[in-house]
Amino acid sequence: MSLVHGTWEPLPASRWEDGFLSGNGRHGILMFGGPDDERIVVTHHTLVRPNGGESARPPQLAAQLPALQDRLLAGELHAAEDFTDGRGLQWVQPFHPAFQIRLRGTPAEKPLGYRRCVDFTTGVAETVCEGRRSRVLVSRADDVIVQHLAVPDVDIALDHRLPGVPAGLAVGDGALLTADGALLTVRVRYPGSETGYTGLTLVVVTGGRTTLTPPGVRVTGAESVLLLTRVLRHTGELDTARHARDLRSLLPEGEADPYTGLLGRHTALHRSAYERVTLDLGADPAERALPGSELLARPGSPALLERLFAAGRHHLLSASGLFPPRLTGLWTGDWNTAWSGAFTNDANLNLQTASAVAAALPEVTEAHATLIGRQLADWAENARTVFGARGVVAPAHTDGESGLSYHFSREYPLHLWTAGADWLLKPLVDHDEASGTRDPRTAHALAQVALFYEDFLTRTDEDGRLVVVPSYSPENRPAGAGWGAINAAMDLSAARHALLTAAGHHPDTPQAGRWRALAERLPPHRINADGALAEWAWPGLDDTYDHRHLSHLYGVWPLDEINPYDTPDLAAAARRALELRGAENDSAHGHLHHALVAARLRDGERVAHALGQVLGGDFFHTSLMSAHYPHRDVYNADAAHTLPAVLVEMLVQSTPDRLVLLPALPAAYPQGQLLGVRTRFGAAVDLTWTPHEATAVIRPSRTHRVELRTSSGARPLDLVAGEDHVLTLRTW
């Protein structure tokens, strides 16, 4: 294992939050516990518990919309607070763990040589103690959890009883000896439901003896033990015999070392994805060799940032497949997952996946696209039911099953948020630009967003400009006003971007002209009395500065609408808005969102400060998974998954026609290498820098002229497909 591309600890993880992680975007594992009671918590993206959300529908409010618009435009600042159907807050179905695989061995009086580690290049988590070795991976090739135990004696059982397990579950477990090995099963059905899930583990022992110890088995005198595990969510009965045969089919007859074969098939996919982009900050080799827990105590260490960048890539890749990452990625050891472990769309999901395009993880973008594609029909129902419009409106929260907008309350009127579809489609647009292709799924979804705006944008102000009403800026409200307002900056940016992008994807259609005309009628952003970009471009709606979200700066990041080169006055106002923004409750996503915006505004000092708040705020567990709040409060993937995007943005930025090198490099990192970054004009970039100069090697896949921006100014750069272009720059 490389000292950069992995992490290790000399002590067991007594808390599941500190357990090492791996996954294939469907199944996940969380490895913790001591050498004589090791536990593998098994998770799966589909495991959400029915709570009423499975049958919830969006509120039927379309008939009331014109009256609400009239009231808001007439100055009734709290009018939107009763724009509901009177229901209480309904959370989406909560994500939960499946069970834990418990491995109990013979206790040692003084365990010697204990070490646990995870190799990011392979996704293999491992423990070693007194010559005994336990390894686990989650195969991307075969969609199975693979454990290889080099232990002579071990008791093995599946146990669903994890913290917060709800009462009323119908649970059945069993163990069966067959000619192929032992089969362990655990069947769980949710209370009052025909839906549940089944876990199966095939135990194949080389040498030794296997005996039943219901609900598990005991292995004695073995040379090695191989476990293959899958989880299946289902309604009604499941043919476990068929699925057991499927597991057995992964072990061809006569294969001397099946673990090596399984590992090789998986590694070919995981390693090639993980290694596409690497970061080297020239850290001290002695610090690189430290366990993660010691590095975390050195928040200013370049070695810590190197390892968190690497861990973030591993975790993001591991969490993305069937779906993109949830609030907790793909992992939890507790049935009571904060905020239902949902996909929270109004900030967190896009922040977590922010590095996917530039840092060359199309697997993440494809998972993101798949989630949207599955839910587009539900988005259409949201538009019809809430707004009486064609097209689509995305929900602020989803459990992965439903895309309906039913999670809202007076304080969080998330059903009023109309910018969500553009926000969620932006990474897919970026991917198309980087790849030089047009995904028809993205083009179709963009057209649906534009259709919504055609029907929704009907009100005008006294100057004839279109008005976005009602309008919502997640998850904030104007000072002294209600939660639903008018002309939120995010809504203006999203509507303009969606209409123009849809027109660009459908240039030869009659709609394209209508969409461009609508975009031109939207009002400009407003600069408030403090010289800051206002969160609401409507007279009388004053800013509330101390807030964790930065939705109003959507035009800066991830859009290119506001930037220091084309719109310097608006960029200055955005920078002033960033200066005035408080951290509110110190949530990790707020700090790193702040850093992403600051990087686009070329403010390296502000990037460094935001990073420092996270690195010095005790946000990371020894697993290098993060927490939502300081002092490791509330397990959450925002910081872990977003941090790589911040590091890329401070070093390399791109649009379809521009390359920006070293826009916001903090002084704390005077040297380094970032290799393999992808640009939105179809080139890969390798960047090396020292205190005096930088070298960029640009490898274009298509011929194009771009504008090169550096600290010394701007100049055109002509790129030819297949021809490397080498640039040398001064960095002082």
pLDDT tens, position by position, 715-724: 999 999 999 9
CA distance 292 to 3: 11
CA distance 653 to 358: 8
Within a domain: 112: yes
547 and 632 share a domain? yes
204 shares a domain with 103? yes
Domain boundary (223, 248, 278) is at 278
Cα–Cα distance measured from residue 358 to residue 134, given in angstroms and rounded to the nearest whole number: 35
Q: DSSP 3-state assignment of 524?
A: coil
Region of residue 534 (phi > 0: left; psi between -120 and 50: alpha; otherwise: beta): beta
Per-residue model confidence (pLDDT) at position 731: 77
Q: What integer best gives the mean pLDDT of the chain?
A: 96
Token readout for 66 is 């014109």
Question: Which residue in the block uniquely carries the two structure tokens 């070695």?
Answer: 303
Domain for residue 663, yes or no? no
Mark whether 36 and 89 lie in a shared domain. Answer: no
Nearest to 655 by CA among 522, 527, 564, 523: 564
N-terminal to C-terminal alpha carbon distance within the chain: 36
In this structure, the answer to whether residues 160 and 265 fall within a common structural domain is yes
Phi-psi region of 717 (alpha: psi -120 to 50; beta: other; left: phi over 0): beta
CATH code, domain carrying 115? 2.70.98.50
**Stretches in the chain below the pLDDT threshold 50:** none
Kindly state whether residues 320 and 216 are assigned to the same domain: no
Q: Give the Cα-Cα-Cα angle 126, 130, 131 (nearest 5 degrees).
A: 65
Position 662 scores a pLDDT of: 97
Amino acid making up residue 106: T
State the Cα–Cα distance between residues 697 and 695, nearest whole angstrom: 7
Position 209 in a domain: yes
Among 650, 683, 709, give the residue marking a domain's end: 650
Q: Is residue 610 part of a domain?
A: yes
Ramachandran region, residue 192 (left: φ > 0; alpha: ψ -120 to 50; beta: rest) = left
Residue for token pair 């039943």: 212
pLDDT value at residue 176: 94
Do the domain assignments include residue 439?
yes
Whether residues 106 and 140 share a domain: the answer is: yes
Are residue 494 and residue 635 in the same domain, yes or no?
A: yes
Question: What CATH number corresponds to the domain at position 483?
Answer: 1.50.10.10
Q: 396 and 247, same structural domain?
A: no
Q: Are residues 44 and 60 in the same domain?
A: no
- The angle subtended at Cα 232 by Cα 228 and Cα 238, nearest 5°, is 105
Whole-model pTM above 0.85? Answer: yes
CA distance linking residue 279 with residue 685, whole number of Å: 12
d(CA 712, CA 559) in angstroms, rounded, equals 24
**For position 2, what pLDDT does the model report?**
65
Residue 712 exposed, middle or buried by CB count within 10 Å (0-12, 13-18, 19+):
exposed
In whole angstroms, how far apart are CA 113 and each of 109, 135, 664? 13, 16, 44
Give dist(CA 613, CA 603) in Å, integer.
16
Return the pLDDT at 528: 97
For residue 130, what pLDDT is reported?
84
3-state DSSP call for residue 254?
coil
Q: Answer yes or no: is 293 within a domain.
A: no
Q: Which domain holds residue 186?
A: 6-48+98-278
Cross-strand bridge partners of residue 166? none
DSSP state of 602: T
Are 66 and 198 members of one domain?
no
Are 199 and 78 contained in the same domain? no
Q: Of all helices (H) and strands (E), which one includes residue 339?
A: none
Q: Is residue 363 part of a domain?
A: yes
Structurally, the chain folds into a number of domains equal to 3
- What are the C-alpha distances in Å from 422 to residues 263, 429, 435, 501? 39, 10, 20, 10
**What pLDDT, on the 0 to 100 scale, is given for residue 254?**
74
Same domain, 65 and 182: no
b/e for 81-92, b at 16 or more Cβ within 10 A?
eebbeeeeeebb
643 vs 633: CA distance, rounded Å: 18
pLDDT of residue 105: 85
Our measurement of the distance from residue 415's CA atom to the centroid of its chain's CA atoms, rounded to an integer in Å, reads 22
**Do 721 and 702 meet the contact criterion of CB atoms below 8 Å apart?**
yes
609 lies in some domain? yes
- Which pLDDT belongs to residue 162? 97
In tens, the pLDDT along 548-582 reads 999 999 999 999 999 999 999 999 999 999 999 99
